[in-house]
A and B are shown apart, each in its own frame.
Chain A
């Protein structure tokens, strides 16, 4: 089974760009990479999904190298409201969210 590894926590300051990297060495050919965001006392919500290269939406960018063994979620100019837990998933027959990365944005 493809397993993901991400940093447990990260700190940043308002206005900075934040990059969270996820490792998924055993990713399969058909797997997509998906990131979710979870605020306290809420369920996770979808942020972005990609297969290879770069994907950008109004919230974030996702960078995936050619070997697809890792991916990087990039949050431009974070604000205090971006403080949350971010989960990287490699979607296959199981849904394993893992512990995620707890991002704290400071003023």
Chain B
């Protein structure tokens, strides 16, 4: 079946502009995650959605970052007034079950490479 998809695959934007990154999770997956990965670094957790619960936004680095998940499916990560340090690969993942516990597995999308010039 279809995996997690993200769009666009690449995005180049000018400093100060807003960008929107899209994630389509695997159908039926209740949990959705956003991560950021700078070149050669590990993954930095940004935000977690689980069903209809309030999202865990503890990883968002500043108030310029926000995310929403509509209808429990598609999610959009918005970065306002982009800065050069926002340049990174933004990865989305989904899981069938909430985080934690046995048989818990995240499925990752290919990522969106964001370059802020």
> Which residues from chain A sit less than 8 Å from chain B, CB to CB?
30-32, 34, 36, 41-46, 49, 51, 87, 91-100
**Are B102 and A44 in contact (CB-based, < 8 A)?**
no
Q: How far is the CA of A56 from the CA of B35 in the complex (A)?
A: 28
Q: How far is the CA of A91 from the CA of B103 in the complex (A)?
A: 11
Interface centre among A31, A42, A51, A100 (most CB of B within 10 A): A42
**Are A97 and B42 in contact (CB-based, < 8 A)?**
yes
Enumerate B82-113 residues with CB–CB distance to A below 8 Å: 91, 93, 99-111
Q: How far is the CA of A99 from the CA of B37 in the complex (A)?
A: 10
Q: How far is the CA of A34 from the CA of B105 in the complex (A)?
A: 9
- Is B48's beta carbon under 8 Å from chain A? yes
Q: How far is the CA of A92 from the CA of B100 in the complex (A)?
A: 6
**Are B45 and A95 in contact (CB-based, < 8 A)?**
yes
**Are A99 and B41 in contact (CB-based, < 8 A)?**
yes
Q: How far is the CA of A92 from the CA of B48 in the complex (A)?
A: 13
**Are B104 and A34 in contact (CB-based, < 8 A)?**
yes
From A92, which residue of chain B is reached at the shortest CB distance? B100
**Are B43 and A51 in contact (CB-based, < 8 A)?**
no
- Is B33's beta carbon under 8 Å from chain A? yes
**Are A95 and B104 in contact (CB-based, < 8 A)?**
no
**Are A91 and B104 in contact (CB-based, < 8 A)?**
yes
**Are A45 and B108 in contact (CB-based, < 8 A)?**
yes
| CB neighbours of B107 from chain A (8 A) | 45-46
Q: How far is the CA of A65 from the CA of B4 in the complex (A)?
A: 35
CB distance from B56 to the nearest CB of A (A): 8
- Is B58's beta carbon under 8 Å from chain A? yes
CB distance from B109 to the nearest CB of A (A): 6
**Are B108 and A93 in contact (CB-based, < 8 A)?**
no
From A95, which residue of chain B is reached at the shortest CB distance? B45
Q: How far is the CA of A95 from the CA of B37 in the complex (A)?
A: 14
14 A-B pairs whose Cβ atoms sit less than 8 Å apart in the complex: A30-B100, A30-B101, A43-B108, A43-B111, A44-B43, A45-B107, A46-B105, A46-B106, A49-B105, A87-B43, A91-B99, A91-B104, A97-B43, A97-B45
The list of the 6 closest CB pairs from A to B, nearest first, reads A43-B108, A97-B43, A99-B42, A46-B105, A98-B42, A97-B42
